[in-house]
Amino acid sequence: MEKYIINGGNKLYGSVKIQAAKNSVLPILAAAVLTDEKVKILNVPQISDVKNMVKILTCLGCKAVYENNNITIDSSSADCYEIPSALAHELRSSVFLLGSVISRFHMAKIAYPGGCDIGLRPVDLHLTGLKRLGVNITEKNGYILCKCDKLFGNEIMLDCPSVGATENIMLAAVKAEGTTVIKNAAREPEIEDLQKFLNCIGAKVSGAGSGTVIIEGVQTLHGCEFLPIPDRIEAGTFLIAAAMCGGEVRAEGVYHENISSLIHKLRENGCKIHIKDDKIILENNRRLASVKTIETQPYPGFPTDLQAQMTALCCICSGQSIITENLFETRFKYVPELRKMGADITVIDRNAFVRGVEKFKGANVIAHDLRGGAALVLAGLAADGRSEVMDISHIDRGYGSFEYKLRNLGADIVRVTV
Ligand code: EPZ
């Protein structure tokens, strides 16, 4: 197991290059199974979720070649429709493979997917959508078995704008016979990026980002070279780090419009934020004021994936805040750890009630999930004294070279093996 040792109190100065979006790369890797021609994905982050997704693809018979930060996937020899359960339990995005594997083999078998322990995370909307496309689904002994003679287009109304369900149905519908319309679809930028990738390999997808996605089935697909969008959550995490530690940080290679809800909140806190082309510069050298409320919502609302980091910021602002987590049932597991660092925070149901304190105190804390773990690192960086963050494998799932990027900004953080 590995941990971070952090000596807090340094201000952060400098530039940080943002990686390609984890939540765009993962469905795009799943989509590579749809075509027999090579797909090259550029600027791929070195994170364990991507490595595990590539492992699953190789178990299906795909070939994967890493070259610097690029990955080339060749699915021409793919010959297996069963996603290995050990890997499926490792990451949520394994479930996206249902759509692309069923499209390729008309068969698919997967154990219930894993991922961060932030809630129940059912897949009912995925399965209902696939059934509407003609898939017969049985669930037995913890496995989901899918079969179909052929896939045909249909209209699907999602009960909630699920990112994963939208993506899974898009993947299954690309080569279906006829047209599929997904209503109440997720609007996240990663959905638009998946649409762009699918059209790049010859699919006919439109409407992503609007809430209604239309997929006209095609017969053949080809290869392509593709640069996914920047990771808006990584960018947001570094901006919040700068707000908490003070200094001036420039996030480079980022689409500011994809995190406008965060920028709005940080400006409300009193941060100076300048936007220039694909750069966001945050400057802060004083204690910030609390924002009264933060409510996580599906895009374009405040992203649930920045909830923990923003709560950590609220803990050291002057005043009180209420943070409401509307998407996941148990996404406050990091709160007891922040309390060890002196946070004054009470969680009741989906609400965290925060009273700002002057400073965090360094402490030994444990990461329980990806974004909660990142929030603990930010708290350690801003704290007085020394902190240790244990079980940082959770953080490695979504942040590539995290400690290197933070050290380049002046943070005192090292990774050690225990
Ligand atoms: C994706 O997860 C992201 N993961 C999550 O990021 C992100 O938090 C989430 O979307 C919301 O934006 C990836 O893209 C790999 P959902 P996903 O389906 O697809 C309910 C991170 O930190 N729901 O949009 O699992 C569900 O319970 C990760 O990078 C159903 O009820 O999220 C939740 O309450 C964490 N039935 C809500 O929808 C279903 O069949 C949103 O879930 C599916 C979802």
The DSSP secondary structure of 311-334, one letter per residue, reads HHHHHTSBSEEEEE--S-TT--TT
Amino acid at 244: M
Q: Indicate which residue's Cα is closest to atom 16 of ligand 1.
A: 162
- Measured in whole angstroms, how far is the alpha carbon of residue 264 from the centre of its chain? 21
- Measured in whole angstroms, how far is the alpha carbon of residue 315 from the centre of its chain? 24
Pocket test for ligand 1, best of 53, 132, 162, 324 (most atoms within 8 A of CB): 162
| Ligand 1 pocket member 329 (CB < 6 A) | no
CA angle in degrees (0–180, nearest 5) for 227-186-279: 40
Specify the pTM. Answer: 0.97
Catalytic entry in 116, 245, 271, 314: 116
Closest CA to 237 of 248, 255, 247, 251: 251
Within 13 Å and on the Cβ side, how many CA atoms surround 408? 13
In the prediction, which pLDDT does 28 show?
Answer: 98
| Ligand 1 pocket member 394 (CB < 6 A) | no
| Ligand 1 pocket member 328 (CB < 6 A) | yes
In the prediction, which pLDDT does 61 show?
Answer: 97
The owner of tokens 């510069």 is 281
Q: Indicate which residue's Cα is closest to atom 5 of ligand 1.
A: 305
In the prediction, which pLDDT does 36 show?
Answer: 97
Q: Do the Cβ atoms of 163 and 121 come closer than 8 Å?
A: no
Q: Measured between alpha carbons, how far is 362 from 271 in angstroms, rounded to an integer?
A: 24
| Ligand 1 pocket member 163 (CB < 6 A) | yes
| Ligand 1 pocket member 305 (CB < 6 A) | yes
For residue 116, indicate whether it is catalytic: yes
Closest CA to 26 of 168, 161, 183: 168
Amino acid at 321: S
What parts of the chain have a pLDDT lower than 50? Answer: none
Between the CA of 157 and the centroid of ligand 1 the distance, in Å, is: 17
Q: Measured between alpha carbons, how far is 206 from 188 in angstroms, rounded to an integer?
A: 14
| Ligand 1 pocket member 165 (CB < 6 A) | yes
User: Which phi and psi angles does 53 have, rounded to 5°?
Assistant: -65, -40
Locate the ligand 1 atom nearest the alpha carbon of residue 188 and give its number.
12
CB atoms within 10 A of CB 359: 16
CA separation (Å) from 359 to 150, 178, 338, 362, 414? 60, 59, 12, 10, 22
Between the CA of 191 and the centroid of ligand 1 the distance, in Å, is: 12
CB atoms within 10 A of CB 251: 25
Between the CA of 277 and the centroid of ligand 1 the distance, in Å, is: 30
| Ligand 1 pocket member 237 (CB < 6 A) | no
Q: Indicate which residue's Cα is closest to atom 44 of ligand 1.
A: 162
Between the CA of 417 and the centroid of ligand 1 the distance, in Å, is: 31
CA separation (Å) from 84 to 91, 96, 110? 11, 14, 7
In the prediction, which pLDDT does 222 show?
Answer: 97
Give the total residue count for the chain.
Answer: 418
Locate the ligand 1 atom nearest the alpha carbon of residue 163 and give its number.
24
In the prediction, which pLDDT does 112 show?
Answer: 80
CB atoms within 10 A of CB 49: 23
